[in-house]
Amino acid sequence: MNDAQGEPALAETEAASAPKTLAMLVSGVSRSRAASLAAVLSLGITGMAAGCIQTDRASAPSFAPVVRKVMPAVVNVAAIQKLNSADTGEKGLNSDLSDKQSDKRKSLEELLRRFLESQGRKARPEPKVTTVALGSGFIIDPRGYVVTDDHVVENAEKVTIVLQDAAEYPARVVGRDPLTDLALLKIDAGHPLSYVRWGDSDSTQIGDWVLAIGNPFGLDNTVSSGIISGRGRDIHSGPYDDYLQIDAAINRGNSGGPTFDLHGNVIGVNTAIYSPNGGSVGIGFAIPANRAKPVLEQLRDRGKVTRGWLGLQIQPVTPQLVQALGLPGTSGALVSRVGAGSPAAVAGFQTGDVILSINGRKIRRMRELPRTVAEMPIGQRAAVTIWRGNAASTLQPVISEMPANPEVAELPAGENYGGRPERRTAAPSLMLDMSSAI
């Protein structure tokens, strides 16, 4: 028997022998009095054990007060989508179909369409299939502004919001931002609605308690608890990845739901899970509140998001590059391409430059640079420290507005983040270093 198994048995033996030991110690006392004292001691041991259990239970946190406070602001989102039957089969029955196979299928379909048209025949349009995407969301304004994930309402022809009291309202899509997987909806209830407030996600720490509330598998609002397991996670679903990793259970249908701190403030928007089987394995990802809030404010005010842009293609700095370029360390981002006529080209950037800092902010890792540039005001002149020719120097590009398709050069498939990010489930194959455009 190992120690872990032996200790409880030993404790039980000692407790059981306590009355006998007491009887021996009080040999000068009558047998009845010894028995009475033994009974008192036995009850005392039992009472102390029960007291320990009660104390432990009392010290465990109860989330009920927070849940009562925030639950009315968490909603279910139902989006009616119309998809081609081929798309439905690809995403449903053949979910493991690779992007290359999908592109090949589309190319063949295009060739077939052209062949039929050359023969004077028209290709029959693919039948549309109606599907309902179920997700979650939360109200951030008493006027009825609702936050959810972009992939919940993507291709939606009709969106319905269901409140905790089962009241249903049609929703209008105010704006969407596929690059951060955020969407802002609006409902008109005719009266002020319960809402929640944003928290400060930058002040959260690994190990802090969090609550995730959402609509898993189409069920009503469900609460799960856990802790922040990690910060600054990059799952390569987009150029601005900076996720909170949480171990609170998140499943299909939780997308767009809030992550709360113990004060009832929203510190994240649930958006993806790592799962080999489609269910929760304790690794979920939430968009930090401090990243989501400015995006949603732009969607509310403009209906779209504008971002800063330089026109560069960048790659990580590797140990081999450090040695070859004489760099002082592995911090920074390597410029692999410069777009012709871009703000970076006008400022004098060259392929092979290593960007070390921007406006005094050190770039520790490559993926910090796209987010830093994107958040800068349009038209602002930036001070960018670069490493070139074994020495540091400064360039001063003017930040421009990112175009709709920020392609700066021909890129291998899968290396540009210009397309629609897949955020439903982070797969192991996505955990790779990739280049990025800024």
User: What single-letter DSSP state applies at residue 310?
Assistant: -
CA dihedral 293, 294, 297, 302 (to 10 degrees): -150
Cα 118 off chain centre by = 48
Catalytic residue among 149, 150, 177, 181: 181
Is residue 134 classed as helix, strand or coil in its secondary structure?
strand
User: What single-letter DSSP state applies at residue 282?
Assistant: S
φ and ψ of 434, to 5 deg: -135, 160
Catalytic residue among 201, 237, 255, 280: 255
What is the rounded radius of gyration, in angstroms, for the C-alpha atoms of the chain? 30
Whether the CB-CB separation of 259 and 270 falls below 8 Å is answered with yes
The DSSP code sequence of 220-266 is S-EEEEEEEEEEEE--SSSTT--EEEE-S---TT-TT-EEE-TTS-E
Token pair listed for 148 = 């959810």
Catalytic residue among 136, 150, 151, 280: 151
Active site residue 263: no
Active site residue 188: no
Active site residue 141: no
Element (H, E) at 371: helix 368-374
* Cα–Cα distance measured from residue 229 to residue 285, given in angstroms and rounded to the nearest whole number: 10
Question: What residues pair up with 358 in beta bridges, in sequence order?
Answer: 361, 384
Catalytic annotation, residues: 151, 181, 255
